[in-house]
């Protein structure tokens, strides 16, 4: 061979030892797990962004409809009443008094309530205590 005129370092194929192969396999497994964690995190972030976008889309739609129509859905206090003269059950808005809906009374709703049995018993005891003459004295036969 001739005289050496310089040195270089080049990438070349080298046969690995069994220990180097095991070390490379461990490193490979860790890198695969790291990539899977990154991918899972990316998917979770994308899902969160999709959900946030859907929430924004719903709000935008509701606001655009209220701007276009000049109306929006709100909770409004209502009252349900019996209209005995027309035999109807009427549900009315409390904010403006307008009728929301009406329906005919059912048979049980048309039936006048009977006095409470305990009220009848109390009235009888009270009457008996006063006496049938209404003066509170005993009743004579």
CA distances to 21, 23, 34, 45, 98 from 27, in Å: 10, 6, 11, 27, 75
Sign of the C-alpha dihedral computed for residues 127, 129, 130 and 132 taken in this order: positive
pLDDT tens for each residue of 30-78: 999 999 999 999 999 999 999 999 999 999 999 999 999 999 999 999 9
- pTM for the model: 0.46
pLDDT tens for each residue of 85-138: 999 999 999 999 999 999 999 998 888 777 675 666 666 677 777 665 555 555
3-class DSSP state for residue 103? strand
Q: What are 106's two structure tokens?
A: 């059912």
pLDDT tens for each residue of 66-80: 999 999 999 999 999
CA distances to 15, 32, 46, 88, 126 from 121, in Å: 109, 86, 73, 33, 9
Q: Under a CB-based contact definition with an 8 Å cutoff, are residues 127 and 139 in contact?
A: no
C-alpha 103/C-alpha 88 separation (Å) is: 6
């Amino acid at each position: 061979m001739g005289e050496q005129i310089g040195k270089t370092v080049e990438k070349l194929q080298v046969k690995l030892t069994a220990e180097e192969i095991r070390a490379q396999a461990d490193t490979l497994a860790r890198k695969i797990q790291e990539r899977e964690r990154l991918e899972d995190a990316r998917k979770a972030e994308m899902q969160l962004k999709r959900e946030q976008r859907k929430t924004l889309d719903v709000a935008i739609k509701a606001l655009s409809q209220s701007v276009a129509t000049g109306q929006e859905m709100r909770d409004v206090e209502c009252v349900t009443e019996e209209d005995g003269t027309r035999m109807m059950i009427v549900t009315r808005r409390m904010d403006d008094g307008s009728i929301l809906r009406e329906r005919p009374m059912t048979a049980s709703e048309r039936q006048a309530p009977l006095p409470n049995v305990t009220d009848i018993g109390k009235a009888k005891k009270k009457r008996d205590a006063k006496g049938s003459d209404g003066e509170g004295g005993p009743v004579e036969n």
